[in-house]
Chain A
C-alpha cells in the first residue's frame, strides 16, 4: 500500500518535470511581457528563468528521492517475502511424511529453498511497484504527448498493439525452456551432492569416468537449453527495438510537418521528442517486467509443486504445544502400512504391549519390523488400523507429545554437528524455556528480531534461550543435567571414550576455576614425581622458564607461550610484530635466519631428488613438495651472495619460520649450539615483557596457571614427552592417567569431554560411539515409551551387557526392542515375531525360540 501511495505521489511530479522544460524554452527564453508577477513578487526575464530552473532542479531532487525511498521499500518488502517463503518451504519439508523422503533428495530441495526462490522474492518487491510506477509514468508521458497533439500521441503508441500481441507468443517458448532448465539444474545439483556423499564408492570402483560423463552430459543439456533461451530472448529484444525505433520516424515526419504548418510550436515538438525518449524507458521496463513475470511464474510453479504432496502433515503437528500425558498399554489394532516397496509393508498387525513391560520385536530386515517400530513411535502413520497408547490414538497427536514422551533410536542414527553435550541433550530441546539475560542494547535487537519474525510469519523462538527441558527429567539445573548425562554415558560404556575426548579438549578455566585448580594440582604432583623418579625424568622434559626444552620446537622455546588461536601455524608466528621485534632486539633474528638457511640447504640437498609420490617429503621434511622450489631459490641466493645477510625481509622471515619448526632432539641437524640455546632462553623474558600480560594473541606458559589454548592433557603434563625415548608418550600417559584417578579427576575430565566437538555429522566419532551417543540421547529423555531398533542387538557379550543396562534403566517403563536375532528375544518377557509384514502371536521368549528353530 505504502509503495502504491509513494508511486502515485511520483506521477504529478514527473508530469511537472515534463512540463517545465517547455515553460523554460517557450516562456522564459522566448517569451515577452516582462516583468511578471508571481505570488505577489515581480520577476524580470533572467530571474524568472532562474526561478523556473531552480524549481526544475528541486523537482529532480524530489523525484529521485522518491525513487530512492521506493527502492528501499521494495527491497525490504522483497526480503521479507523471501524470508517468509523460505521458512514456509522449510517448514513444509519438516511436515513431509517420512516415506515422502524416499522420493525427494536434499540435493534437489536445497537449491529450491536457497537459490531458486531468490528471484521470486526479489520479484515480489517489484510486483506491485514496477507496473504501478513504470505504467503510471507511461500513462503520464503518453498523456503529455496527447495534450500537445493527439496525432503525435497516436503515432507514439502506434506500435504498442503489435508488440502486445507478438511478444507474449514468443515469450511462451522462453518460459517452457526455462522450466526445463530449472529441472535440469536441479538434477545437476542432486548428482553433485550424490557424488560427494558417495565419493569413497567412486574411488573404490574407479567410477569417476562414469560420473564425469554423466555430469558432462547434463552440463551439455544445460548449455543447449540456455543457448535456445538466449536465441529467443535476443530475438524478442531485436523485435522490440525495431518497433521502438519506428516511432521516432513518425515523430519527425508528422511533428515536422505540423511545425512547418505552424500548428505546433518548436518547443512543444522538442518536449514531445524528449518525452518520447523517456517513454521508451518505462515501456521497455514494462516489457521486461512482463518477461520477468513469466519467468518467475515458472520458477515459482516448479518450486512449489515440489512442496505440496497430498499427504503432508498439518502445520499444527509441529507448532502445537499440547499437554497430553501418554499412559497405558501400547496397542496396535489391525495396522496396515505400505512403504511403497517390497519388504516395507505391514499387514494387519495387532498386538498389545502392557504398560511398563519390555517386549522384543524380532524379524529379519524386510520383515516389516522397522516399520512396526516407527509406527509405534508415531513416526509413520498407519494406512489403516489404529496405534494407541492407553486411549490415545497416536495419529491425532502432535509432535509435542510424540517427540517428548516417546524415545526412538532407529537403525540409522544421526549425530548432529556440535558437541557431545549438544547431542546428548538434543532430545530435551523442544521449546525455548528460559529466556537469556540481555543488556539494553541486546534487548533492543531482540525486539527488532521479534518484530521481523511476526512480519514474516516466522516463529519467534529464541535460539539463545535455555532450551533444555529440565522438568521432564527432574533436574534442578544444568549442572544436575550434566551429572545425569555422565551417569548414562558411564552406563552405556561410553565413559572411557568421553574421558579421552576430555583429555584432548581445551577447558574454559574461567567457567570452572575449581577444576582448573585441580588440574594444576595434578600437574604439580606429576612434576614432583618426575623429579623424584629418575626413570620418569628420562621420559619427559617439563617446561622450565630457565632451561631449553629439546623436545619442543624452537618457536615454543623462544616464546615460552602458545598462540591463543590453536590453529595458528608455527611458520606464521614470525609475522607477529612482537615476536619479530623480540627477535631483532635479542639478535636472534640473524642467528635464526642462519639456522633456517642451513635447514633449507640440508632439506634441498636431501629431498631434491625425491619423487613426489614417495611421501618421504611430506612425512619428514619441514618443507612440503610445493615449497621446495621456493626454498631452493632462497638457498641458492644464500650461497651465491654474501650469505643470509643480503636477503630480503620476506625471505628472512621464511627462513626463520623454518627454523621455528625445528625440534632439536628429533631433527638432529646440528644447527643449534648451546650459545644460541641460552640466548633463546634469555629472550623469553623480553618477549613476555612485550606482551605485558596481554592474552589475546599469546598465552604464556606459567606452571601455576591453566593454559587455555592447550588441551587438558597438555596442561596436566606441562612439558613434552622426550622424542628420543621409545614410547615416551604412551608411558607418560599411563602415569598421567593413574594420577588423574588418584586425585579423583576422572569425572570432571569426562565432563569436559561433553564439550568435545564431534565433527560434521559426528564424523569424529566411530560408528559404535555414534550409536551409543544416540542411545544416551534417548535414555536422557525419560520417556514413557522407549523404542530401540537394531541397536545393541547382536549376541556379542558387550551388547548383551548393554541390553541388560538399558532394561535396568527403563524398569517400569515400556520398551520395544527391535532385533534381527531370535535369541535376543529370549532375554525379554514377551516378544513379537515379524515375518513378511505379518506379526506372529505373542508369547514368551522360549517358546518363540523353539518355534523359530523348528521353522528353520
Chain B
C-alpha cells in the first residue's frame, strides 16, 4: 500500500474525517508503517504511551487486566484508531492491544502528532470537534444510564 492508499484509509478514520488530503498525506508520511503478526502486542496496559495506532488492515483485540488475568473486552477493525488518548494526554495505556491475525498498522508518534497539530491549527480544531462529539455522546449515554438506574 502506498501513501495515497494510506491517505484513503486515514480519511475513513472518524478523527481525521474533516482534515484535507495534503495534511493527511503529511501525517501518513511521517508515520511509520508496521506489520504485526498474529498475537504480537502493539502496546501493553500500564506502560507509557508514546504513539497511536491506525489499523489499515486486520483487526486487534483490546484486553484489560482483571483479577482473573487478561480479558478481551473488545475488538477493533479496519480504519479504527487506538491509543490516541495516550498521545493527547499523558496517561499510561489503559488497555493492552494484541494483533488478531496479520495486521497492517500506521504508527503515529506522539511528538509528531503534536507537532502537526501545532503546525495546522485547523487540524487541532477538527480533532477537538471529534473529541467533543465523542464526549457529548458519552455524556448522553451517562445521562441515559443514570436515569435508567434511578428508575429501577
Q: Which residues of A are interface residues toward B (Cβ below 8 A)?
A: 535, 538, 602, 605-607, 609-611, 614-616, 619-620, 665-670, 723-726
Instruction: Give me 5 A-to-B residue pairs in the complex whose CB atoms sit less than 8 angstroms apart, sorted by A's number.
Output: A616-B30, A616-B112, A724-B33, A725-B34, A726-B40
Question: In the complex, what's the smallest C-beta–C-beta distance from A166 to chain B, in angstroms?
Answer: 73
- B119 proximity list for chain A (CB < 8 A): 609-611, 614, 616
Q: Given contacts A668-B3, A669-B2, A670-B3, is CB(A620)–CB(B29) below 8 Å?
A: yes
B30 & A668 in contact (Cβ 8 Å cutoff): no
A670 and B34 contact, Cβ closer than 8 Å, known pairs A605-B22, A606-B26: no
Closest 3 pairs (CB-CB, A-B): A670-B2, A620-B30, A606-B26
Structural contact, B3 and A669, CB atoms closer than 8 A:
yes
In whole angstroms, how far apart are the Cα atoms of A615 and B111 in the complex? 10
Question: Given the complex of chains A and B, what is the CA–CA distance between A192 and B33 in angstroms?
Answer: 48
- Is B151 located at the chain interface by the 8 A CB criterion? no
Q: Please give me the residue from chain A that is nearest to B4 by CB atom.
A: A670
Residues of A within 8 A of B112 (CB): 616, 619-620
Q: How many residues of B contact A (CB 8 A)?
A: 25
Cβ B115 vs Cβ A616 within 8 A: yes
Min CB distance, A672 to chain B, in Å?
10
Q: Is the CB of A725 within 8 A of B35?
A: yes
Contacts of B5 in A (CB 8 A): 670
* B41-62 interface bits toward A, Cβ cutoff 8 Å, 1 = contact, 0 = none: 0000000000000000000000
Q: Is the CB of A538 within 8 A of B115?
A: no
Complex CA distance for A666 and B4, rounded to whole angstroms: 14
A615 contacts B115, C-beta separation under 8 Å: yes
Residues of A within 8 A of B22 (CB): 605-606
By beta carbon, the residue of chain A nearest B116 is A616
B146 within 8 A of A: no
Q: Is B1 located at the chain interface by the 8 A CB criterion?
A: yes
B residues 1-37 near A (Cβ < 8 Å) are: 1-6, 22, 25-26, 28-30, 32-37
B118 interfacial by beta-carbon distance below 8 Å: yes
Distance, CA A610 to CA B1, complexed state (A): 26
Shortest distance between the CB of B100 and any CB in chain A (Å):
16
Interchain CA distance A605-B115 in the complex, whole Å:
18
A724 touches B2 (CB 8 A): no
Asked if B115 contacts A614 (CB within 8 A), the reply is: yes
Measured in the bound complex, the distance between the Cα atoms of B17 and A340 in whole Å is 73
CA distance A57 to B40 in the complex (A): 96
Report the bound CA distance from A725 to B104 in whole Å.
Answer: 10
Contact partner of B34 (CB less than 8 A), chosen from A611, A619, A726, is A726
Known: A620-B30, A670-B2. A724 touches B35 (CB 8 A): yes
Residue pair A724, B34 in contact (C-beta under 8 Å): yes
Chain B hits for A723, CB < 8 A: 32
CB distance from A554 to the nearest CB of B (A): 16
Q: How far is the CA of A616 from the CA of B35 in the complex (A)?
A: 24
* Complex-state Cα separation, A669 to B30, whole angstroms: 11
Q: Whole-angstrom distance between the alpha carbons of A724 and B26 in the complex?
A: 18
A616 and B4 CA atoms in complex are apart in Å by: 20
With A611-B119, A620-B112, A726-B34 given, can you name 5 additional A-B contacts, CB distance below 8 Å?
A: A538-B37, A620-B30, A665-B33, A726-B36, A726-B107
- Taking CB as reference atom, which chain A residue is nearest B107? A726
Smallest CB-CB separation from B25: which chain A residue? Answer: A606
Question: Which of A538, A607, A666, A670 is packed against the most chain B CB atoms within 10 Å?
Answer: A670
Q: Using Cβ atoms and an 8 Å threshold, which residues of chain B touch A665?
A: 33
CA distance A622 to B34 in the complex (A): 20
Bound complex: CA A620 to CA B3 (Å): 14
Q: Which residues of A contact B25 (CB under 8 A)?
A: 602, 605-606
Smallest beta-carbon distance A391→chain B, Å: 65
Point out the residues of chain A lying under 8 angstroms from B118, CB to CB: 614
List chain A residues, Cβ under 8 A from B4. 670
Residues in B whose Cβ lies below 8 Å from that of A726:
34, 36, 40, 107
Chain A hits for B2, CB < 8 A = 668-670
Min distance, Cβ B113 to any Cβ of chain A, angstroms: 11
Question: Is the pair A668, B115 in contact by a Cβ cutoff of 8 Å?
Answer: no
Which single residue of chain A is at the shortest CB-CB distance from B41?
A726
- CB-defined contacts of A668 to chain B, threshold 8 Å: 1-3, 6, 28-29, 33
In the assembled complex, the Cα of A667 lies from the Cα of B118 at a distance in Å of 23
Shortest beta-carbon distance, B30 to chain A, in Å? 5
How far apart sit A538 and B40, CA to CA, in the bound complex (Å)?
13
CB neighbours (8 Å) of A614 from chain B are: 115, 118-119
State how many angstroms separate the Cβ of A551 from the closest Cβ of chain B: 12
Complex Cα–Cα for A668 and B1 (A): 7
* Chain B 108-130 per-residue mask, 1 if CB under 8 angstroms from chain A, else 0: 00001001101100000000000
Bound-state Cα–Cα, A610 to B30, Å: 13
Q: Which residue of B lies closest to A671 (CB)?
A: B2
User: Which residue in chain B gives the minimum CB-CB distance to A667?
Assistant: B29
CA distance A535 to B40 in the complex (A): 11
Determine how close the nearest CB of chain A comes to the CB of B77; give it in whole angstroms: 20
User: Which chain B residues lie closer than 8 Å to A669 at the CB level?
Assistant: 2-3, 29
Chain B residue numbers with a CB within 8 Å of A724 are: 32-35
Task: Tell me how far the C-beta of B14 lies from the nearest C-beta in chain A, rounded to whole angstroms.
Answer: 23
Query: Which residues does chain B contribute within 8 Å of A616, judged by CB atoms?
Result: 26, 30, 112, 115-116, 119
Name the distance in Å between A704's Cβ and chain B's nearest Cβ: 31
A666 partner residues in chain B, CB cutoff 8 A? 32-33
**Residue ID in chain A nearest B37 by CB atoms:** A538
Q: Please, how many angstroms separate the alpha-carbon atoms of A723 and B32 in the complex? A: 9
Output the nearest chain B residue to A615 by Cβ-Cβ distance. Answer: B115
Residues on A with C-beta less than 8 A from B36 are 726
Determine the chain B residues whose CB is within 8 A of the CB of A606 once the complex forms. 22, 25-26, 29
- Looking at the assembled complex, report how far the CB atom of B18 sits from the nearest CB atom of chain A, in whole angstroms: 18
Query: Hey, which chain B residues are within 8 Å of A607, CB to CB?
Result: 26
